[in-house]
Amino acid sequence: MTDKLQLISCNKVHSGELRRYKHQASSVNCEMTFAVFLPLQALNSQGESLPALYWLSGLTCTDENFSQKSGAFKAASELGIVLIMPDTSPRGCNLPGEDDSYDFGSGAGFYLNATQAPWSEHYRMHDYVVNDLPELAEPLFNFSGERSISGHSMGGHGALICALRNPQRYNSISAFSPICNPSECPWGNKAFSNYLGNDRQQWKEWDASELLGKATDQLPLLIDQGSADEFLQLQLKPQALISAASKADYPLELRMQSGYDHSYFFIASFIEDHLHFHAKYLK
């Protein structure tokens, strides 16, 4: 599978390597870009077996936002965790309205499988993250077979639904400021009505609060949410997830962090906590 990858760049960081690749992806029927951080342990001649943490970014982001702003590589290097960071949507598909707004289309794939034309031909980011990307990225190192997933905002929503829909594939979940109940917020309403149509029953299949409320397989789940987040009440709605977890007796740890907003300053402040959280379940 690795012969399908074209290396874009490679930078040494914390004794490891940050690599960016592009490739043709069948799930989204276009060229995609992703980044992978390989700790030193993955580069030495012994080829130590390592786990992977997938990071899904939020609205308007690419794979580069997390790699440039989160400060995650030092802890990932020390813990021996490979980081795999995809883009947030297909790009350059020439669909009508694709680039008209920040919260739909390019940079806003919502990590679901679109069912409505013309989006269904390309906007199948769930299949890309869960199936295509692991097949390409995991052969780049001696993969231990253990993987977890995390993300921010729209990417937090993505991490939740990828793991809740496929619990056998992941060891643990975490998120920063996730969109917890997209069926009931403006961002989600706009994306779901265009990608999935107007049948709100279909929306529930991609709503973390709905999925968690009926989950039978339980994964360790950590969420950090800033109390000063400008999107907290209207868009993110963590209370819906708390309520669903309570009803399902799901082991959710949701920490309200006083004074923090929605930015990467927030992520950088707590990313090491999340890496140590996942390390407990990846090894």
Provide the annotated active-site residues.
Answer: 153, 229, 262
Peptide bond into 96 cis (omega under 30): no
Q: b or e along 101-126 (b: 16 or more beta carbons within 10 Å of the residue's beta carbon)?
A: eebbbbbbbbbbbbeeeebeebbbbb
Neighbours of 16 (CB within 10 A): 23
Give 170's Cβ-side CA count (13 Å radius). 27
* DSSP E strands, 72-118: 82-86
Tokens, residue 238: 């963590």
Peptide bond into 251 cis (omega under 30): no
What is the maximal distance between C-alpha atoms in the chain? 54
- Segment (H or E) for 274: helix 264-282
List CB contacts of 117: < 8 A, sequence separation 6 or more: none
List CB contacts of 106: < 8 A, sequence separation 6 or more: 89, 90, 91, 98, 99
**Spacing of C-alpha 226 from chain mean position:** 18
